[in-house]
A = this chain, B = another copy of it.
Amino acid sequence: MADPQHLTPAGRRVVAAADELFYERGITAVGVALIAEHSGVTKRTLYNQFGSKDRLVAAYLTERDERWRALVRATVEACDDPVEAVTAPFAALRTWARTSSRGCAFINALAELPDPADPARRVAVDQKVWLLSLFEELSAAADRPEPAALARQLLVLHEGALTTLPLPLETLDATVDLARSLVTAAAPPGR
């Protein structure tokens, strides 16, 4: 049911409204009635499609995750240089930030949903694990030594830039520069 391919047109509009409202105003603070209203759909239809608010939240995070991964993949594939590709997620972050001024939706979800059994937590944690292994793959492909350690550093930088986004501190450019220098400083071995 979390698969947007299997959703009806009304279901897709519900997820779109949930995406905007949950992200902008917070998950707990937004009621299902408001989402139904914004998507031009009856509350009954919403429940026929998703069954519960928890599952709607999971669908919201899943859809956002898929959009984010698609953007990152496209940015990576647009890079000719494998060294440049390692920092492609940071370039994607700059694009992403234009419409996401409230920080990371997944970190925010973890903040609001402390229950370890909540299915939405899986989605959020999986996203970070995915990004970490992507950094590692890209580092290895760019012939960096110790790609795992570099990937950890890049992930922390990425999360730092993402979470300071709602703060008026303008940290994005400085972070991208630092990430680039970390990657280039980690020279290929045996030169």
A residues 25-39 in Cβ contact with B at 8 Å: 25-26, 28-29
A125 proximity list for chain B (CB < 8 A)? 167-168
Q: Is the CB of A175 closer than 8 A to any CB of chain B?
A: yes
**A178 CB, min distance to chain B CBs, angstroms:** 5
Q: Is the CB of A95 closer than 8 A to any CB of chain B?
A: no
State which of A3-11, A57-65, A155-163 sits at the interface with chain B: A155-163
Q: Is the CB of A129 closer than 8 A to any CB of chain B?
A: yes
The winner among A24, A161, A167, A174 for most chain B CB atoms within 10 A is A167
A residues 74-132 in Cβ contact with B at 8 Å: 102-104, 107-108, 110-114, 125, 128-129, 132
Pairs A–B under 8 Å by Cβ, sample size 21: A26-B28, A26-B111, A26-B112, A26-B113, A28-B28, A103-B110, A104-B163, A107-B107, A108-B111, A110-B166, A110-B167, A111-B111, A125-B167, A132-B169, A152-B171, A153-B178, A156-B160, A157-B160, A159-B160, A159-B163, A178-B182
Interface positions of A (Cβ within 8 A of B): 24-26, 28-29, 102-104, 107-108, 110-114, 125, 128-129, 132, 149, 152-153, 155-161, 163-164, 166-169, 171, 174-175, 178, 182
